[in-house]
Structure 1
C-alpha cells in the first residue's frame, strides 16, 4: 500500500471516530457507552496508524504532521513521496 492510501485510511479512521462520538451524544443512554468506546478506539487507531506509517519511504524519517496538505516531496531528502 502506498503512502497516499495509508494517509486516506488513517484520516478515515479519525473522522469515523468523530462521527461515532457525535452519534454517541445523540442516541439512547444504553448505546452511548458502546458508540463512545467505538469512537475512541477508532480515533486512537487512526492516530497510532499515522504515527507508525507517516514517514518518508526513501529516508525513513518521520514526516511532519501539520502543514502536510499538498506535500508531494520529503522535506528532508527531497524525494517524491507518492
Structure 2
C-alpha cells in the first residue's frame, strides 16, 4: 500500500513530497506516513501545511506538537482512521 508525505511551504505552489514508500497493509502504511510526518515537522516550521496520502486517501494537516513533544494527530485521525474500515 502506497503512502506519501509532503509539505506545502509558504509561498510555494506545489507540494514538496519528501517521503514515500510501500507497506503491506493500511495500519503499517498509515503508521509509516505518520512517523515521516513527525520527522518532517521536526525538521520544518511546525506552522506549515502538510500533506499525507495513504492508499489514495488524502489528508491536509496543520499539526500541533503536544507538551511532551509528541505529534498531535487528532486531525489526522478524522481522515486517516487507524482502522481502515472506519474512514468514512
Q: Give the TM-score of the pair, scaled to structure 2.
A: 0.33
Higher strand share: 2
Higher helix share: 1
Q: Give the TM-score of the pair, scaled to structure 1.
A: 0.35
**Bigger Rg, structure 1 or 2:** 1
